[in-house]
Amino acid sequence: MIKRFTFGNPVNTDAVVVNDYKEAGSDEPLPFFKEEGDGTLIYKMTPDDRIYGLGEALHGINKRNHVYESWCTDEPQHNEDKLSLYGAHNFLMVDGMKDKFGIFADDPGRVRWDTGEEDRDILKISFSGSDRYIYIITPDDTHYAMKDISRQFRHIIGKSYVPPLWAFGYGQSRWGYKTEDDIRKVLENYRKADIPIDMIYMDIDYMDHYKNFTVDSEKFPDMKNFVSEMKKENIHLVPIVDAGIKEEKGYEIYEEGLKENRFVKKEDGTVFTGAVWPGRSVFPDFLNRNTRLWFGRKYKFYTDMGIDGFWNDMNEPAIFYSPEGLKKVTDKTLEIQGKNLDIDSYFEYVGIVSSIKNSEEDYRRFCHALDDGSVVNHEKVHNLYGMNMMRAVSEAFEEEGIKEDTLIFSRASYIGAHRYGGIWQGDNCSFWSHLKLNFQMMPSLNMCGFIYTGADTGGFGWNRNEELMLRWLAVSVFTPLFRNHSAMGTKEQELYRFKDIQGVRNIVWLRYRLLPFIINEYMKAVNEDTLMFSPLSFCYPEDPRAWEIEDELMLGDNVLLAPVLEEHASGRYVYLPEKMREIRFKRDGNVEIAELSAGDHRLQVPLGEVVIFTRENFRLSLCRPASNVAELDMDDVTYL
């Protein structure tokens, strides 16, 4: 059962779209929580309670004992001392000895979740504003309570996005492909290495001076032609589109947007400027319906060329600096010029320089014109910006009748964004700890509706090595979004560059062989509001060992994943909650099957192999590999 409690005068976020909930009476107290004066919510936990949810967030599957902040942030350092990533997903579940419930705080401002850092027995949720809806969800099925609560929640936030079929294939990306020839070479090398591929991504370098809806005609002399050249090879080109619009006289989108009032403004009515990749830029007011329509329709520039896939970046929105912020730095610089700085003043200066990126002051500097005519400061609705950028695009595709054939995913998101497209997990690094983090994030993202998701395989920042890449592939082989992406300046990581070609090829082939199964599980999760990836404790709630497992997941109801997440390991220990079948996909393409008893096992997993475990009566369907999804025959399956 779901009950909605109203505090103050909340803005409509469109997170909840199905009103299968009861409205609480105006003096009805919130269950489970004690309210403190300023709107802080306190819940007393017992020592064994577990906390799940929060979508795109740091730490493990059980979110207990840390602080998280819902505040969409361009955060390229996913370290344990960070509070926020790109998404703001205010849904949390308590799997308690005493209580089992879920809470969704529909509040697009900053929300702080202390799950036991300050006091290990206290769950404390603090809000920066005073307007919000709180949804409290209690299970109807008390045995599979977590599954049931997340299903009820997913029901009211609406069906998750389904991408076109080819978007389940493998994609290659890199911030650094500059010309058509760069991309041709990538494809050529994939063909030579006999590794399947469906997508090649174009990062910001395809644009003319990082201007959205332009193509640099020196690097791509005839984009339309190039798109069809790639299409003939069954390759989809997927360009990036950023949130900021270059402030430049004569740039059509900028001029038109100014005239038609499309950009966010400061309180004095002037247009807000902030610098991103194009230099000084302005920001479309995606919270406004007419602006969304305007922006979304601009994608015709690409779709007319035959482009049918997109990723939206920098839409937290990321702001490198504003003119006001930069002035603070230049003023201070002039002030200290030639002076003998003591250390305190030096650090003060360094602090000012580093504080101008994504600064709270800038986020307070501009406002949105909502559809109901009201004007609201950005700070109060910050977390809605990225979602509404993707919504603009998705609604335009719907209007055009091309939504089902077009891929779209975003970096920033709020709950509700899952209806419009997917998200990727942002700028991770080629760190073993991030491989584990990205694996653990999958179920939390699913709980918040994001099924089309995955991480930059191999890691975005820093340098990969072959062992890490092979282990990462063995995880991403199961994630709906399967993309290899890396940052400029890092070691190149296209799969054909590795020595163990047989190993990487085997895993990507396996991806294509598994697609009937993966797509089936995907559609089940979408249609039944269930989790594609879930913690073991959701499926085995009576098993105390399962409660603690942080490095295994269930894929659907029948498959257990226990990938190797550590380096220098020839294998790992795996815990099986029941008797299961081990299915081993060998490096040579053969499959070996063994029966394993419930309990602990030591498992050998050579690099390039993938091992999964299935429940007793489950049969896994496999098709024959092909070099892309279009050539795959998913009806011609064998069953294991």
Tell me if 203 contacts ligand MIG by CB under 6 A. Answer: yes
Cα–Cα distance measured from residue 195 to residue 117, given in angstroms and rounded to the nearest whole number: 46
Report CA Rg, the chain. 25
Task: Give whichever of 132 and 464 is closer to ligand MIG, judged by the CB atom.
Answer: 464
Task: Give whichever of 203 and 395 is closer to ligand MIG, judged by the CB atom.
Answer: 203
What sign has the CA pseudo-torsion 321, 326, 328, 332?
Answer: positive
Least gap, CB of 309 to ligand MIG (angstroms): 15
The number of beta carbons lying within 10 Å of the beta carbon of residue 420 is 25
Q: What DSSP letter does each residue of 541-598 carry, written as one string?
A: TT-HHHHT--S-EEETTTEEE----STT-SEEEEEESS-EEEEEE-TTS-EEEEEE-S
Tell me if 365 contacts ligand MIG by CB under 6 A. Answer: no
Least gap, CB of 231 to ligand MIG (angstroms): 24
Position among 117, 131, 155, 175 found at the interface with ligand MIG (CB under 6 A): 175
Residue nearest to ligand MIG (CB): 175
Give the full edge-to-edge strand order of the sheet including 91-95.
22-23, 2-7, 132-137, 100-106, 91-95, 50-53
Least gap, CB of 488 to ligand MIG (angstroms): 8
Residue 52, token pair as written in the block: 């799940």
Helix (H) or strand (E) holding 325: helix 323-336
Least gap, CB of 171 to ligand MIG (angstroms): 12
What sign has the CA pseudo-torsion 401, 404, 405, 408?
Answer: positive
User: Going residue by residue from 288 to 307, which x/- string records binding to ligand MIG, judged by CB under 6 A?
Assistant: --------------------
Task: Give whichever of 204 and 253 is closer to ligand MIG, judged by the CB atom.
Answer: 204
Least gap, CB of 456 to ligand MIG (angstroms): 7
Least gap, CB of 485 to ligand MIG (angstroms): 6
Task: Give whichever of 113 and 177 is closer to ligand MIG, judged by the CB atom.
Answer: 177
Task: Give whichever of 453 and 530 is closer to ligand MIG, judged by the CB atom.
Answer: 453
Task: Give whichever of 152 and 425 is closer to ligand MIG, judged by the CB atom.
Answer: 425
Task: Give whichever of 173 and 506 is closer to ligand MIG, judged by the CB atom.
Answer: 173
Q: Closest Cα to residue 107, out of 213, 8, 183?
A: 8
Torsion of CA 323, 329, 330, 333, to 10 degrees: 180
Task: Give whichever of 490 and 627 is closer to ligand MIG, judged by the CB atom.
Answer: 490
Exposed/middle/buried for residue 306 (C-beta within 10 Å: 0-12, 13-18, 19+): middle
Residues of this chain, 236-265, that bind ligand MIG according to CB under 6 A: 240
Task: Give whichever of 277 and 363 is closer to ligand MIG, judged by the CB atom.
Answer: 277
Q: Closest Cα to residue 278, out of 312, 243, 252, 302?
A: 243
**Strand, helix or coil at 259?**
helix
Least gap, CB of 450 to ligand MIG (angstroms): 16
Least gap, CB of 394 to ligand MIG (angstroms): 20
Least gap, CB of 58 to ligand MIG (angstroms): 17
Task: Give whichever of 62 and 490 is closer to ligand MIG, judged by the CB atom.
Answer: 490
Residues 6+ apart with CB under 8 A from 450: 55, 56, 87, 160, 413, 417, 418, 422, 423
Q: Which DSSP symbol is given to 625?
A: -
Position among 95, 148, 427, 582 found at the interface with ligand MIG (CB under 6 A): 427
Using CB under 6 A, count the residues that bind ligand MIG.
9
Tell me if 313 contacts ligand MIG by CB under 6 A. Answer: yes
Task: Give whichever of 162 and 167 is closer to ligand MIG, judged by the CB atom.
Answer: 167
Least gap, CB of 427 to ligand MIG (angstroms): 5
What sign has the CA pseudo-torsion 176, 180, 182, 185?
Answer: positive
Residues 6+ apart with CB under 8 A from 26: 6
Least gap, CB of 210 to ligand MIG (angstroms): 9
Position among 171, 296, 426, 503 found at the interface with ligand MIG (CB under 6 A): 426
Least gap, CB of 632 to ligand MIG (angstroms): 28
Least gap, CB of 91 to ligand MIG (angstroms): 24
Cα–Cα distance measured from residue 451 to residue 114, given in angstroms and rounded to the nearest whole number: 26
Exposed/middle/buried for residue 213 (C-beta within 10 Å: 0-12, 13-18, 19+): middle
Residues of this chain, 404-423, that bind ligand MIG according to CB under 6 A: 411
Least gap, CB of 330 to ligand MIG (angstroms): 23
Task: Give whichever of 389 and 611 is closer to ligand MIG, judged by the CB atom.
Answer: 389
CA 197, distance to chain mean position in Å, is 22
User: Going residue by residue from 5 to 44, which x/- string records binding to ligand MIG, judged by CB under 6 A?
Assistant: ----------------------------------------
Task: Give whichever of 148 and 242 is closer to ligand MIG, judged by the CB atom.
Answer: 242
Crossing angle between the packed helical segments 145-157 and 432-447, to the nearest 10 degrees: 70
Position among 57, 58, 197, 204 found at the interface with ligand MIG (CB under 6 A): 204
Q: Tally the residues of the chain.
A: 640
Task: Give whichever of 169 and 386 is closer to ligand MIG, judged by the CB atom.
Answer: 386
Which amino acid type is present at position 233?
E
Numbers of helices and strands, H then E, in the chain? 16, 38
Residues of this chain, 579-618, that bind ligand MIG according to CB under 6 A: none
Tell me if 87 contacts ligand MIG by CB under 6 A. Answer: no
Structural contact between residues 459 and 432, judged by C-beta atoms closer than 8 angstroms:
no
Question: In the complex, which residues of this chain contact ligand MIG (CB under 6 A)?
Answer: 175, 203-204, 240, 313, 411, 426-427, 485
